[in-house]
């Protein structure tokens, strides 16, 4: 009997505890609220990027685009037609990136410049492959359109701007030649390899990485920018590697090299080196992706919108401007 009574008492206690557990409100431990104030916050919707930084005190509006692939020529191009024929036949009619309507590279370029003006852009940044080969008439036309608006413009070249397919000579020598002889009006007085511009408290750093290779002085300039502590945006053509990306995201890509170069015969150019990237290439990549004062990088080349977050900073790619694509990038103060 005592054993049965004891079991009944234990059962009653367990049931009571269960009821109390269900009925009584759960008491949560007080949670400490830790205020986190990041140095940089960024957001993007479609072709609009907003970057907020505690290191800036003014608003900067930047129109950014790449890969317009203009192909216009005149009689001056005839001696070079064997080198420009393939790209001269490309991008004649394309679909607009938003509406799907038929458009042309010329129409897209003009509309982008007009949009920069209507949205109050402080500057225009052109990130390569604005033209499909170094056509004299094409470069003149670009300048004519840019000069219709009172907005400063900056440019760095892509892998097509300076490339005549099948022309004899090393890629580096041909790039030097055509940047100076044809593309110079777009660079102005700036060094085609690399240069910086200060606008409203932000440093715009333009780097020509159009052959996937980084020069030592480009690495050294970036190191100096990082050391300065001044907030900067890196603007270039070939995007940075991120895990899962193809070798088109070639800067710092561990698989970039001869074994993965599928287009050198089509483009009639030198094949990428068998050994892949140099130590300088990787050092540049590490500097760019770990710089505490980097606000963002923007590149073209892949003809698609995207963003990769590397060590907490955004690295954007912009769609092809041949289809009207662009970024309106706005940098604003971050009020803590």
Q: Note the pLDDT tens digit of each residue in 173-191.
A: 999 999 999 999 999 999 9
Question: Which pLDDT value is given to residue 167?
Answer: 97
Ramachandran region of residue 286, left (φ > 0), alpha (ψ -120 to 50) or beta?
alpha
Q: Given pLDDT bands bounded at 50, 70 and 90, which one contains residue 285?
A: very high
What is the arithmetic mean of pLDDT over 184-204? 98
CA terminus-to-terminus distance, the chain: 72
What is the arithmetic mean of pLDDT over 18-35? 38
Q: Given pLDDT bands bounded at 50, 70 and 90, which one contains residue 169?
A: very high
Angle of helix 105-118 versus helix 136-146 axis, rounded to 10? 20
Question: Which pLDDT value is given to residue 320?
Answer: 98
CATH 3.60.21.10 describes domain 40-333: yes
Average pLDDT, the chain: 90
Instruction: Name the 3-class secondary structure at 211.
Output: coil
pTM of the predicted model, to two decimals?
0.87
- Name the residue among 157, 127, 129, 141 with its Cα closest to residue 76: 141
Given a cut of 90, is residue 30 above it in pLDDT?
no
Question: Which pLDDT value is given to residue 75?
Answer: 96
Question: Which pLDDT value is given to residue 335?
Answer: 82
Instruction: Name the 3-class secondary structure at 126.
Output: strand
- Helical H runs in the chain? 2-23, 81-88, 105-118, 136-146, 171-178, 184-187, 216-228, 279-290
Q: Would you kindly state where each structural domain of the chain is located, as residue ranges?
A: 40-333
- The CA angle 129-131-136, to the nearest 5 degrees, is 140
């Amino acid at each position: 009997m005592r054993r049965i009574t004891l079991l009944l008492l234990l059962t009653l206690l367990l049931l009571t505890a269960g009821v109390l557990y269900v009925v009584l409100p759960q008491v949560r431990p007080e949670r400490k609220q830790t205020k986190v104030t990041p140095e940089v916050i960024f957001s993007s919707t479609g072709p609009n990027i907003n970057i907020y930084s505690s290191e800036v005190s003014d608003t900067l509006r930047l129109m950014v685009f790449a890969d317009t692939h203009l192909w216009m020529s005149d009689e001056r191009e005839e001696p070079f037609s064997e080198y420009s024929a393939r790209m001269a036949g490309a991008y004649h009619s394309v679909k607009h990136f938003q509406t799907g309507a038929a458009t042309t590279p010329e129409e897209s370029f003009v509309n982008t410049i007009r949009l920069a003006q209507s949205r109050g852009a402080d500057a225009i940044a052109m990130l390569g492959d604005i033209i499909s080969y170094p056509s004299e008439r094409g470069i003149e036309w670009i300048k004519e359109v840019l000069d219709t608006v009172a907005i400063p413009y900056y440019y760095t070249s892509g892998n097509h701007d300076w490339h005549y397919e099948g022309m004899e000579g090393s890629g580096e020598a041909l790039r030097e030649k055509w940047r100076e002889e044809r593309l110079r009006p777009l660079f102005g007085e700036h060094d085609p390899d690399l240069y910086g511009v200060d606008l409203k408290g932000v440093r715009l750093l333009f780097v020509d990485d159009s052959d996937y290779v980084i020069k030592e002085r480009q690495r050294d300039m970036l190191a100096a920018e990082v050391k300065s502590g001044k907030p900067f945006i890196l603007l270039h053509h070939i995007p940075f590697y991120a895990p899962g990306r193809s070798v088109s995201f070639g800067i710092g890509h561990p698989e970039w090299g001869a074994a993965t170069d599928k287009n050198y015969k089509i483009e009639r150019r030198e094949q990428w080196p068998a050994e892949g990237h140099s130590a300088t290439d990787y050092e540049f990549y590490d500097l760019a992706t770990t710089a505490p004062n980097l606000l963002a990088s923007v590149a073209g080349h892949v003809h698609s919108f995207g963003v990769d977050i590397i060590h907490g900073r955004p690295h954007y790619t912009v769609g092809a401007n041949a289809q009207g694509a662009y970024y309106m990038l706005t940098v604003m103060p971050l009020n803590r």
